[in-house]
Each structure stands twice: as C-alpha cells, then as structure tokens.
C-alpha cells in the first residue's frame, strides 16, 4: 500500500495521521506502519482509560495479518482470551476458525480484534463508556489494516461499530459501511455453539461476505 493510500485511510477514519511526509518509498511506508503498530500496541497494553484495566490479566490487542483483506471484529475478550492476551482462543475461537475455513481462509491470513481490549468481569456486556474509551484504538487498527471487508461478529460488535441499536435480525443479511469499508454482520460463534440450528443462516452470512469481498477485490465498489 503506497503512502498516499495510507494517508487517505487515516483521513477517512477521522484519526490523526501519524505520517506527515509524502512521496516516501514503500520500505519507508512499511517501517512507518510497523512503528505505528508498535506504538499502538504499547498504548493499548498501558491503557487505563476505563476501569477494566484494573481487572484484566492482559490487554487483548489483536492478531493476524496487519495488511489483511478481511478484518474480524468481536465484542470483548473472554476468560481465556484475557489469560492468553489473544482474541478468540476459546471454544468460540475454534468455531470462528472453522467459519474462516469455510471461506477458504486461515486464521493467520485475516486480522482479528475486538471492540473492547479488556475483559469485562464475568463476561458481562460492554458498557457504552467502555466502548467509547476503546474506540480510538479500533479506529487506528482499521485504518492501518485497511481491509477490503469487515466482519462484525455478533450483535454487540455490530451495534458498537455501526452505532446503532437495531437488533441483530435487522443487521444481518445487509451490507453496511464503516467509513468506506463494507461491513457484514455475522452470528457470534458463541451463539452458534448454543444454537447449532442457526449455522445454516450463518453460512448465508458468510456467503454474503464472500460476495462482497470478491466484488471489492476486483476493484468494483460494493453498491447495495
Ligand atoms: N468473544 C469475543 O467477542 N471476542 C473474543 O475474543 C472471544 C470471545
């Protein structure tokens, strides 16, 4: 990705652009991106913007390909994620890996993160003020990855990302936008573990996401 694309991405997402120069070579772009990733990771690890930092074991930053076409955004770390410092490593994560395989994707090819970087005690729903406190980190991650498609995993992730209170039933099956990036809302794998009958609909969500990805990656913007 050239510097101009990177600069534009930051502007699109309404975050301050850390790269002030232009006309730099690709290797410089990459090392600037690497520096920004590292700065961001350290900021998240040290973050005390909401009270969740007091109860977390690890801040859970994100994993995967930092220049992925697919970005997956879940709700918040659970117990195992908090212990390991990595998103989606528990049973829901294993099902998420299977969902990725259905899209012919390996976990390492995509970028995975959450709306919240710290675990809410007892896995309660995130509070609006926690979502707001974490939002700048997510914005910067999305701008850096610059994915072709975002999968919002589950109701809370979808509502937080899209700033809506619409129920999941109204959010699934449509293509939304985060800035210019198409967003497809999918069932949370934890829900699918409890309700396996919904897997058929989950497959429809994934097929929609794949159609969007195919179109966008051929250079044709998605239009609803
Ligand atoms: N559920 C989420 O939404 N995120 C995780 O990282 C794990 C479970």
Asked whether the predicted pLDDT for residue 73 surpasses 50, the reply is: yes
Ligand 1 centre distance from Cα of residue 91 (Å): 10
Q: Kindly list the structural domains of the chain, giving each domain's residue range(s) and its CATH number in brackets, ordered by start.
A: 31-217 (3.40.470.10)
If one residue of 58, 73, 78 were mutated to test the ligand 1 pocket, choosing by the most ligand atoms within 8 A of its CB, it would be: 78
Q: How far is the CA of 188 from the centre of ligand 1 (A)?
A: 9
pLDDT, residue 7, reads 46
The pLDDT score that the predictor gives to residue 126 is 97
This prediction's pTM: 0.90
Q: From CA 144, how far away is CA 154, in angstroms rounded?
A: 23
Predicted local confidence at residue 28, as pLDDT:
82
Give the per-residue pLDDT at 51.
98
Task: Please determine, for residue 3, whether its predicted confidence score (pLDDT) is greater than 50.
Answer: no
Check residues 224 and 101 and name the one with the higher pLDDT.
101
What is the structure's pLDDT at 23? 54
The model's confidence at residue 83, banded by pLDDT at 50, 70 and 90, is very high
Tell me which residue has tokens 């117990």: 79
Helices (H), 103-148: 128-145
Confidence at residue 5, expressed as pLDDT on a 0 to 100 scale: 45
| Long-range contact pairs involving 5-14 (C-beta distance under 8 Å, separation at least 24) | 5/146, 6/32, 6/33, 6/146, 9/143, 9/144, 9/146, 10/143, 12/143, 12/179, 12/180, 13/139, 13/140, 13/142, 13/143, 13/179, 14/139, 14/179
pLDDT score of 190: 97
Task: Evaluate if residue 20 carries a pLDDT over 50.
Answer: no
How many whole angstroms separate alpha carbon 113 and alpha carbon 150?
Answer: 11
| Residue 29 alpha carbon to ligand 1 centre in Å | 31
Contact (CB, 8 A) for 29 and 6: yes
- In this structure, the residues whose C-beta lies within 6 A of any atom of ligand 1 are 74-78, 81, 87-88, 92, 114, 153, 190
| Residue nearest to ligand 1 atom 7, measured at CA | 88
Q: Using pLDDT thresholds of 50, 70 and 90, give the confidence band for residue 30.
A: confident
pLDDT tens digits for 164-206? 999 999 999 999 999 999 999 999 999 999 999 999 999 999 9
């Amino acid at each position: 990705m050239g510097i101009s694309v990177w600069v534009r991405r930051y502007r699109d997402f309404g975050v301050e652009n850390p790269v002030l120069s232009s006309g730099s070579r690709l290797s410089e772009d990459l090392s600037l991106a690497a520096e920004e990733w590292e700065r961001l990771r350290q900021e998240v690890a040290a973050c005390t913007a909401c009270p969740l930092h007091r109860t977390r074991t690890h801040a859970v930053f994100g994993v995967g390909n930092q220049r992925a076409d697919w970005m997956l955004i879940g709700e918040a770390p659970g117990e195992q994620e908090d212990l390991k410092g990595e998103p989606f490593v528990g049973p829901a994560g294993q099902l998420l890996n299977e969902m990725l395989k259905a899209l012919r994707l390996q976990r390492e090819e995509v970028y995975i993160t959450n709306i919240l970087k710290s675990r809410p005690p007892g896995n309660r729903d995130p509070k609006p003020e926690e979502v707001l406190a974490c939002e700048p980190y997510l914005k910067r991650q999305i701008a850096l990855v610059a994915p072709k498609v975002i999968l919002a995993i589950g109701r809370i992730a979808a509502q937080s990302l899209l700033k809506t209170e619409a129920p999941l039933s109204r959010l699934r099956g449509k293509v939304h936008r985060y800035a210019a990036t198409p967003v497809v809302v999918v069932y949370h794998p934890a829900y699918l573990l409890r309700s396996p009958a919904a897997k058929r609909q989950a497959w429809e969500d994934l097929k929609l996401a794949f159609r969007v990805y195919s179109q966008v990656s051929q250079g044709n913007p998605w239009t609803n």
